[in-house]
């Protein structure tokens, strides 16, 4: 290495926000960044006079990510509790020369500082909320044209106002919230308010793209790049979003190798199609959404820390429908209007239905409400929904959650398979199919397990769950993620 390169490397280590450790293949500490002393409770000189084995014995590193790399020869990521009482997340990578492990380079991020930043952000949000509450409802309505967003509750208006104010920028927005709360609708409206509204809005469900197809779908490919590739080649979804907005839904479902590829595009602003050697510049606004705790996934080692920081620029949490019941009437009116236009009839909701609609918890949120309304609309024998007999959301949920599929009963029960009054075959098949998926959501911990049970593809399972407003039981997902390897 030249003297210039040595000085460049030293400057990078000395000025980096992350805390760097460089150790040799036996664990002897070669160098550390100056800021590491405050995190690990020892001076730079003391750390450099030690081995990682000694630091573990003294309780300075609990545990050592470098030792894990030395043991396995593979990159590693883990949580550490330092001797100074700090909580950090560390990543380490091996450096091989002629097949021999010569160095391990690790970097750590102090999550204690991150917690301070998150607390500060929460305080700013609270002050912003209080400011809006001091404003009159009229002034808020005058200032904020909600366009396609159908919300009445104060909290959702605050969120919409925040998004409208950040829309002109290119800052990445991370939308959090339970499945079905309306993250996609807010992402579309953010795009409409932005300076990129004339560009494309590319909606990508990360859980619906198999890992084997991810690269070709997202990055595109050149003619003849692989068997079955079209003669014209294909622009990937990332290219299609150029000049517009790329919305990545269910970002928490993205496998680690795909996270690495996505991060590189975000950092470099360019991509290379499969079978090509020429990089292509891409410029898009990134909006992502998830119903998972990404910080916890980072701790579990299933989500990249550096990607998490890239995405967590403007986090926006959409509350569940049960916490903003004021929005239910306008959502019902909008869905009824859609259904009436779709099926060419004018049906209304009987007044007796409103009390149940307003008190039901709607665990599937807006998506569940819309699906319930469609089923009630199709089941109604006249133009008044619930006029002759009240249609209860609770009984509808109980019916679908009880399900009809199990190892003992692989086929629908006879009474379930009967046609309802004026129910068409298509409607009956959809009802039975939904019941099957609802039952599996209470039995199996992942969409992959459901696909294996049903003999269909995993993306098909994801599409069906989205169609029917269903989600896998959180307790099953949690136990599946925590099971020992």
pLDDT band at 194 (very low <50, low <70, confident <90, very high): very high
Same domain, 169 and 301: yes
Same domain, 161 and 82: no
Q: Say whether pLDDT at 113 is over 70.
A: no
Q: Say whether pLDDT at 401 is over 70.
A: no
What does the pLDDT read at residue 405? Answer: 39
Same domain, 9 and 85: yes
Same domain, 330 and 266: no
Distance CA 382, CA 403 (A): 28
Give how far the C-alpha of residue 327 lies from the chain's centroid of Cα atoms, to the nearest Å.
24
**Structural domain contains residue 122:** no
What does the pLDDT read at residue 257? Answer: 85
Q: Which residue has the higher pLDDT, 10 or 42?
A: 42
What does the pLDDT read at residue 474? Answer: 66
**Structural domain contains residue 129:** no
Residue 65 is part of which domain span?
Answer: 3-110
pLDDT band at 139 (very low <50, low <70, confident <90, very high): very low
Q: Which residue has the higher pLDDT, 384 or 452?
A: 384
Same domain, 80 and 15: yes
What does the pLDDT read at residue 96? Answer: 92
Residue ranges of alpha helices (H) inside 106-225 are 111-134, 137-143, 154-166, 183-193, 211-219
Same domain, 328 and 287: no
Same domain, 329 and 436: yes
Phi, psi (rounded to 5 degrees) for 49: -95, 10
Same domain, 357 and 477: yes
Same domain, 296 and 150: yes
What does the pLDDT read at residue 476? Answer: 60
Q: Which helix (H) or strand (E) holds 452?
A: helix 447-454
Q: Which of 132, 147, 232, 150 is nearest to 194 (CA)?
A: 147
Count other C-beta atoms under 10 Å from residue 255's C-beta: 13
62 DSSP assignment = S
Q: Say whether pLDDT at 398 is over 60.
A: no
Give how far the C-alpha of residue 444 lies from the chain's centroid of Cα atoms, to the nearest Å.
20
Q: What is the mean pLDDT of residues 307-317?
A: 89
**Structural domain contains residue 117:** no
The number of domains in the chain is 3
**Structural domain contains residue 26:** yes
Same domain, 58 and 87: yes
- The answer to which of 18-27, 132-141, 255-264 has the lowest mean pLDDT is 132-141
422-464 per-position pLDDT tens digit: 677 777 788 888 888 888 888 887 787 788 788 887 778 888 8
pTM above 0.75, yes or no: no
Q: What is the CATH number of the domain that holds 211?
A: 3.40.50.300
Give how far the C-alpha of residue 366 lies from the chain's centroid of Cα atoms, to the nearest Å.
18
Q: Say whether pLDDT at 373 is over 60.
A: yes
Same domain, 286 and 145: yes
pLDDT band at 410 (very low <50, low <70, confident <90, very high): very low
262 DSSP assignment = H
**Structural domain contains residue 121:** no
211-250 per-position pLDDT tens digit: 778 888 899 888 877 776 677 788 889 999 999 999 999 9
Q: DSSP string covering 206-251, please?
A: GGGS-HHHHHHHHHEE-TTSSTT--TT-EE-HHHHTTTSEEEEETG
Q: What is the CATH number of the domain that holds 400?
A: 1.10.8.60
Same domain, 149 and 101: no
Q: Say whether pLDDT at 137 is over 50.
A: no
Task: Identify whether the C-beta of residue 200 lies closer than 8 Å to the C-beta of residue 180.
Answer: no
């Amino acid at each position: 290495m030249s003297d210039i390169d040595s000085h460049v490397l030293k400057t990078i280590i000395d000025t980096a926000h992350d805390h760097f450790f460089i150790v040799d293949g036996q664990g002897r500490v070669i160098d550390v960044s100056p800021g590491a002393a405050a995190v690990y409770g020892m001076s730079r000189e003391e750390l450099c006079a030690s081995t990682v084995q000694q630091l573990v014995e003294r309780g300075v590193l609990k545990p050592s990510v470098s030792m894990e790399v030395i043991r396995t020869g593979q990159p590693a990521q883990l949580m550490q509790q330092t001797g100074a009482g700090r909580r950090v997340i560390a990543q380490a990578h091996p450096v091989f020369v002629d097949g021999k492990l010569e160095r391990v380079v690790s970097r750590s991020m102090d999550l204690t500082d991150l917690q301070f930043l998150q607390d500060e952000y929460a305080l700013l949000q609270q002050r912003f909320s209080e400011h809006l509450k001091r404003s009159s409802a009229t002034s808020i309505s005058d200032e904020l044209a909600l366009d396609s967003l159908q919300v009445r509750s104060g909290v959702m208006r605050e969120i919409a106002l925040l998004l409208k104010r950040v829309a002109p920028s290119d800052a990445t927005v991370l939308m959090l919230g339970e499945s079905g709360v309306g993250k996609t609708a807010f992402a579309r409206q953010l795009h409409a308010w932005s300076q990129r509204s004339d560009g494309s809005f590319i909606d990508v469900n990360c859980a619906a793209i198999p890992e084997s197809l991810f690269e070709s779908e997202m990055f595109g490919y050149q003619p003849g790049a692989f068997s079955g590739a079209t003669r014209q080649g294909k622009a990937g979804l990332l290219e299609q979003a150029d000049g517009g907005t790329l919305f990545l839904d269910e970002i928490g479902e993205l496998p680690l190798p795909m996270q690495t590829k996505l991060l590189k595009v975000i950092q470099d602003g360019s991509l290379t199609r499969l079978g090509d050697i020429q990089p292509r510049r891409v410029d898009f606004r990134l909006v992502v959404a998830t119903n998972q705790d990404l910080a916890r996934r980072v701790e579990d080692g299933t989500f990249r820390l550096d990607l998490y920081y890239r995405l967590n620029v403007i986090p926006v949490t959409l509350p569940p429908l049960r916490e903003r019941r004021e929005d239910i009437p306008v959502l019902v009116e909008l869905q009824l209007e859609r259904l009436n236009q779709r099926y060419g009839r004018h049906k209304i909701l009987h007044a007796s239905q409103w009390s149940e609609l307003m008190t039901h918890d709607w665990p599937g949120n807006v998506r569940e409400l819309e699906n319930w309304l469609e089923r009630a609309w199709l089941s109604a024998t006249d133009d008044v929904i619930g006029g002759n007999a009240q249609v209860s959301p609770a009984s509808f949920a109980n019916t679908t959650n009880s399900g009809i599929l199990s190892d003992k009963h692989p086929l629908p029960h006879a009474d379930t398979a009967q046609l309802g009054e004026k129910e068409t075959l298509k409607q009956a098949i959809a009802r039975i199919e939904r019941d099957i998926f609802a039952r599996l959501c209470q039995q199996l911990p992942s969409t992959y397990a459901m696909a294996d049970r049903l003999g269909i593809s995993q993306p098909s399972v994801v599409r069906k769950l989205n169609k029917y407003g269903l989600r896998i039981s959180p307790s099953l997902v949690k136990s599946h993620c925590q099971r020992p390897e």
